[in-house]
Amino acid sequence: MSPSKLSVCLAAAAIAWCAAGQAAADPIEEFYRDKRLSVVVGYPAGGGFDAYARIVSDNLGRFLPGNPKSTVQYMPGAAALKSVNYIYGVAPQDGTVLGVPNTYLTFNAFVRGEVGDGIDVTKLHWIGRVAPMDIVTVVWHGTGITSFEDLKNRKVFFGGTSAGGGSTIIPYTLNRMFGTKIELALGYVGTTDQYLAMERGEIHGMSNAIWSQMQRSHPHWIAEKKAIPLIQDGYERRASLPDVPTIVELAQSEEDRKVLRLVGSASVFGRSFYAGPKVPPERVAALRKAFSAMTADESFKATAAKLNIDLDPLSGEALQATVQEISTYPKALFERTNDLTSPEKDR
């Protein structure tokens, strides 16, 4: 072969090799290389939402093709609705922005209608959950109450934050659906104040205790059986509370079960993450895959353990299916749930 023909063949081979390399390039990796992820938290820095946002921000990029860096952005306001509005209609819809929702986002959307004009929560793309909110109804040991049935026969005073807050949703539901005798003392700043009030005897219990938080802050209460768990929120019993029924287990009809799934949805969504409605499906899939790989990674688990961050992950697909299921409930069921959980009924 002449030198000129050899040069032509080599050039053709090089072009073919480059074309094959370009065809084989991963478009997800190409997109995320040199990009920066933003994890938007609808609350101020320093709280529980911040802790979960930071551990995801610090680790998710390791499992996403292109290994993008990430930062946490704070956008407090209107119980995290400001951040939802931003992610839904203002932020880039390209898979570089994730949100951390209020745990009652889905409940408020369907039951209260309080998410915002033009926002359809079924169109948000759920990426995954790090852990549920392990919300538990507890009573102080001195009350003598040891089971849910006891709440039907004895008047008790529970502490709460505000009339429309999450601390009142379960007590209102229990009173109106099952005839329990819970009276609410409102005005507490948060769970820490309620724990102290319970220990002082100001209140008998609360329906917004966070079990994992209590395990860290008051382990002796659990070891000495001073705080008695009666009901756990959510859909499934947790490994740490195998003998405590979920609120859904109390249902006596299929309609009641759906109402209680709405009430318990806050716990299910817990510490979850979502993306905007117009993010391309292939990037949603990549984010979900990376999120699942991250939560299964042993180094991630070790980091979470050092930071006292609980893990009980759930896939984005499972969260999406829960939203889809809830969205099919009839309007009358949403209205009944609103009546059961609203403070207006007692005024």
Query: pLDDT by residue (tens digit) across 288-300?
Result: 999 999 999 999 9
Residue of 57, 105, 70 whose CA lies nearest to 85: 105
Q: Say which residue the tokens 């809830």 belong to.
A: 326
- 176 vs 199: CA distance, rounded Å: 27
What is the helix (H) or strand (E) element at residue 213, kind and residue range?
helix 211-217
Average pLDDT taken over every residue of the chain: 90
Tell me which of 94-98, 190-194, 311-315 is least confident.
190-194
Beta-carbon contacts of 71 under 8 Å, excluding residues fewer than 6 positions away, are 36, 37, 38, 39, 57
Q: What is the pTM of this model?
A: 0.86
Percentage, residues of the chain above pLDDT 70 = 92
The DSSP-derived string for 145-200 is --SGGGGGTS-EEEE-S-TTSHHHHHHHHHHHHH---EEEE----SHHHHHHHHHH
Tell me which of 78-92, 234-248, 303-317 is least confident.
78-92
In this prediction, residue 165 carries a pLDDT of 79
What is the helix (H) or strand (E) element at residue 226, kind and residue range?
none
Q: Does residue 310 have a pLDDT over 80? A: yes
Residue of 25, 144, 30 whose CA lies nearest to 94: 30
Record the tokens describing residue 332, joined without a space. Answer: 């009358």
Check if the beta carbon of residue 256 is closer than 8 Å to that of residue 114.
Answer: no
b (16+ CB within 10 A) / e for 53-85: bbbbbebbbebbbeebebebbbbeeebbbebbb
- 245 vs 233: CA distance, rounded Å: 9
In this prediction, residue 23 carries a pLDDT of 44
* Helix, strand, coil share (%) of the chain residues, nearest 5: 50, 15, 30
In this prediction, residue 10 carries a pLDDT of 47
| Residue 63 pLDDT grade (very low, low, confident, very high; cuts 50, 70, 90) | very high
Domains and CATH numbers, the chain: 36-132+270-338 (3.40.190.150), 135-265 (3.40.190.10)
- 119 vs 250: CA distance, rounded Å: 32
Beta-carbon contacts of 196 under 8 Å, excluding residues fewer than 6 positions away, are none
Beta-carbon contacts of 88 under 8 Å, excluding residues fewer than 6 positions away, are 116, 118, 119, 124, 276, 277
Q: Work out the average pLDDT over 27-46.
A: 93
Instruction: Please calculate the CA angle 73-77-80 and round it to the nearest 5 degrees.
Output: 70
Rounded to 5 degrees, φ, ψ at 276 are: -65, 165
